[in-house]
Amino acid sequence: MADKLEVQQGTLALMILTTLEVLGPLHGYGVARRIEETSKGRLTLNYGTLYPALLKLEQEGCIKAEWRQSENNRRAKYYTLTALGRKQLARETRDWHRTADLIAAFLAPRREGEAP
Amino acid sequence: MRHVRAWLARLAGVFTGHRRDAELRDELQAHLDMETAEYVRRGLSPNEARRRAMLASGGLTIAAEAVRAQRGVPWLESAAADLRHALKSLRHSPAFTAVVVITLALGIGANTAIFSVVRGVLLKPLPNRDGDRLLYLRQSIDGPAGEDIAFSVPEIRDFRAGVPALGGIAEFSPWSLTVQGDQYSPTARMQVGLVTGNFFDVMGLHPILGRLTRPSDDGPGVPPVMVLTEQMWRSRFRGDPNIVGKQVRLDDGSVTVIGVVQAAPYFPSTADALLNMVVSPHHLSATMVLGRTHRMTEMVGRLAPGATLEQARAEVATTYARMQHDYTQSYDPGSHFRVAVLPFKDAIGERARLTLWLLMAAAAFVMIISTANVVNLTLMRGVRREQELVVRAALGAGVLRLRRLLLVENLVLAALGAATGVLIAIAGVRLLTMFAARFSPRAGEIHVDTVVLAFTLALTVSVALLLSFVASLPKEGTFASWISAGTRRTGSLNRQRLQRGLVVAQIAVSVVLLAGAGLLTRTMMQLSEVDTGLKTEQVLSMQVQLLPITKIAKGGDIRAADAAAKEGYDRMKQEALAIPGVVSVGVGSLMPLEASEIQLDVKVEGKSLAVGEAMPRADYRTADPDYFRAAGIPLVEGRTFAATDRAGAGRVVVINQTLARRLFPHEDPIGKRIAWTGDVLRFTPISGDWRTVVGVVGNTQDGGLDAQPRGAMFMPFAQELAMGNTVVIRADSNVSALAAQATAIARRIAPATPIEHVMTVAQIKDESVSPRRLNAVLITSFGAMAVIIAAVGIAGVLAFSVSARTNEIGIRMSLGADSARVQRMILGEGGVLLAAGLALGVGGGFAAAGVMRGLLFGVAPHDPATFVGVAALMALIGVVACWVPALRAARIDPAIAMRAT
């Protein structure tokens, strides 16, 4: 439990969008499962974090929602990536890589200095 | 774009959110079910699976709350809740709400209305392009009517050459014309300005139709043209869009309308239309163009780029000094000729400034009193509400939340007051516009516009903020003790001190307002007691100008027209005399009590001016033998005119007492010879021949009841051109009933001539004081409002103090204090406040009265009678206001009072 992370603001949207792009239309539970699996259990998502993020993306027009029957014949709300969402995903992915590179570059010399 | 979209969705969520709660519950439930199913699939018991799923969810209610927060706009929703709460709470105390709303409405209404006038007349930038670079030049001399004597064309020419700081100097010569009836409207008099071609360029005005005058419209031999003001175009010409190019018939000839100019103020006289100089041949004649003392043209200038007002003033002073040096005979030293250079906007606002700022101050005082009253009411209500606030605090509302609740409530109150106030203001502004029109040509610019409403809004919000922060809430740290203390705290010492201070301030400010109102009312009383000099008020006069000034100004032989006009007046006299009840009918150049616009220098045979002595001047008036009797002007010495003083007979004059004293201080004027003199005579049809004084008549208050006495010289009507235009009718009683008959006679004899100013002497008198009266009425109503509000204030605070002290009073009474003693105690409490307020108010009133010196007549600013009266009135009202709660205190039954605790 000790190494579980709180999900960071801003990264959750990116995770949701990626999940929907990879797996196609999915309900909230599916999204949560996928994120937890991908993080290999290092991330937990409670409802109070997940659903406001989904609603925000919906309000922004990145995803749209509709009620459907699930595979085990259960009614669930499915989220689908929109064209705008795809564009947003591409942009955020690019931004994220840039930021990650930048941070890595900043942190790298220190680590080198510490190593010996 | 994405964010805008998200915000719109959230805003929509504020209104539709509650409908989607069920859906959200289903979605969360579905999630929980799927997760439970998953745990079951992994082999957990259904109960354990459910428990684990619940644990992982983090709580469905919290999640739903988080989603709701994302769905709508939380602060907006809680504000809406506050608003609903505020409305509910105000509905529960309708009396409080009504009193506060009415009090604020009076204060805000008065301020909004007066501010809209101040803004329209004094503050708003002129509609002219770069209006702040526009200047007005004014030439003045000593003596009555010497404040603005205008300029002559040669003087203006010298300024054009000598003042480079003025990039353009335009001429504006006030004139009046008769416009003949046409398809638009009947015949009417029009105030116009004769202007140079550069006038509109200097003034910075643009046409809304057609074109304006330009330099090619100057000089002789060009077609006469007319530019209509927007107002005249809309009213008389019914806004005809095809007006450009139309001909308008004047007394004599016609002019072409070339355009309509944007609405703008003209000064010093209003103008319905502007024409080029060629309309009046007189204005282009050698006498006008060359006569240095022929002053009938106003001057406006525009600062050259980069030039400053100081530069312009310095250059004007230098040029003017050189002119006085070069033409000594045109500037007699005794009269102190001087020129002032004023920003056009200041010149226009000059007459209105003192009155309007005084009104603004009075309105601000009303606002102070209203606000003080509302603060007091809020404080008292706050005590009663303390319990409610304590309960809210106990339930978890923080100080900020409570403060916000109060703020929303006060905003609602202030907004209700402001809305009512704005309605009052809109109704009042129409009245105030008529009032302001007497002081300022900018009255048309008075509107409740966005700036005025912004002012009102600022006022409203400040009141609401003030009200929200006077209510005492505990500091965050002491919250718990406040809650545990509960409602066992009535009226802290600080609060009482504040309330008392507010009452003292209210009384003081009321006294100041009352003092102002008292002084203005005394001024009105003094004015109404001024002796007009006329023996009767049963006099009706009307103006019918049978020989138009334009015709005289044109020059040439006008003897036939003059004779025809005189015959016309004769017929009017005969017919008017036949009206039953008419005692006497006279004809003269002016109405009784009307000041002459023609003032000329006078000399006495065999006398010369002492060094440094001002040139004597007199009003030019004419009168026929019956004029004095008809107008009720008393004969003091000698005789008035006789039928034998006809054209060709020896020239005679009647002078008034002021002129007699000025010209013949220690002699009998009868039989002496005097004459008009001065360069300017050459440009007028007035003769400079010697005339024998045959009579002296009493002074009359020409030009207003508060005017300085003016010297007047009457010529026999028959010996002068019929420039006169007034028929004066005296009846034995109820002369105003004759107006219709008199007008009918004039219309029959002169159908094409406008009939103006059909007025009785009483009306003329009234007219001359009406701006002052309106001012006095306004200030007095502000004063009355203030006193009523203050009286309610003092009574309210005392009543509150009594109810807070019921217990204490009960103890006192059970210990032997009788009801008279209790009553005295409460009266004493109020009396101290009253005395302090009175003392402060009288002091403030003394200071304020000095400022309004210029608006007073016949009463000193520190008039003791007024101040004693005002203080006594306030004291009386204050004592009555204290009495009510004192009586209530005296009626307290100690048994009940003590049991109640």
Per-residue model confidence as pLDDT tens digits over B388-416: 777 777 776 677 777 888 888 899 999 99
Tell me the mean pLDDT in the region B54-68: 82
pLDDT confidence band for B17 (50 / 70 / 90) = low
B contact set with A (CB within 8 A): 2-3, 5-6, 9-10, 13, 23-24, 26-28, 30-31, 33-35, 37-38, 56-60, 62-63, 65-67, 69-71
Interchain proximity A59–B66, CB inside 8 Å: no
Interchain proximity A49–B71, CB inside 8 Å: no
Interchain proximity A59–B9, CB inside 8 Å: yes
Please say whether the beta carbons of B62 and B70 come within 8 A: no
Residues of A in contact with B31 (CB under 8 A): 27-29, 32, 47
- In sequence order, what are the beta bridge partners of B138? B340
- The interface pTM score, or ipTM, of the predicted complex is 0.86
Residues of B in contact with A62 (CB under 8 A): 2
Alpha carbons B780 and B400: distance in angstroms, whole number: 43
pLDDT of residue B134: 95
* Encoded tokens for A35: 């994120």
User: Mind listing the pLDDT tens digit for each residue in B576-591?
Assistant: 999 999 999 999 999 8
Nearest chain A residue to B23 by CA distance is A77
**CA of B72, closest CA in chain A: separation in Å?**
11
Please say whether the beta carbons of A68 and A48 come within 8 A: no
Tell me the mean pLDDT in the region B206-230: 93
Alpha carbons B209 and B283: distance in angstroms, whole number: 27
Q: Give yes or no for residue B763 having a pLDDT over 70.
A: yes
Q: Give yes or no for residue A116 having a pLDDT over 50.
A: no
One DSSP character per residue, B576-630 reads HHTSTTEEEEEEESS-TTPPPS-EEEEEETT--PPTTPPPPEEEEEEE-TTHHHH
Residue type, A74: R
Interchain proximity B27–A61, CB inside 8 Å: no
Please say whether the beta carbons of B873 and B780 come within 8 A: no
Give me the residue from B2, B3, B58 closest to A47, CB to CB: B58
pLDDT of residue A4: 58
Nearest chain A residue to B65 by CA distance is A48
How far from B42 is each of B58, B172, B579, CA to CA, in Å?
Answer: 21, 102, 122
Residues of B in contact with A43 (CB under 8 A): none
Please say whether the beta carbons of B698 and B709 come within 8 A: no
One DSSP character per residue, B392-452 reads HHHTT--HHHHHHHHHHHHHHHHHHHHHHHHHHHHHHHHHHHHHHTTT-TTGGG----HHH
Helices (H), B17-123: 21-41, 46-57, 60-71, 74-92, 94-118
pLDDT confidence band for B482 (50 / 70 / 90) = low
Q: Give yes or no for residue B487 having a pLDDT over 50.
A: no
**CA of A79, closest CA in chain B: separation in Å?**
12
User: Mind listing the pLDDT tens digit for each residue in B591-639?
Assistant: 888 888 888 889 999 888 877 778 888 999 999 999 999 999 999 999 9
Q: Give yes or no for residue B359 having a pLDDT over 50.
A: yes
- For chain A, the farthest-separated pair of C-alpha atoms sits apart, in whole angstroms, at 59
**CA of B55, closest CA in chain A: separation in Å?**
9
User: Mind listing the pLDDT tens digit for each residue in B143-191?
Assistant: 777 889 899 999 999 999 999 999 999 999 998 888 988 899 888 888 9
Task: Name the more confident of B870 and B294.
Answer: B870
Residues of A in contact with B13 (CB under 8 A): 59
Where are the strands (E) in B736-844, listed by range?
A: 755-760
pLDDT confidence band for A115 (50 / 70 / 90) = very low
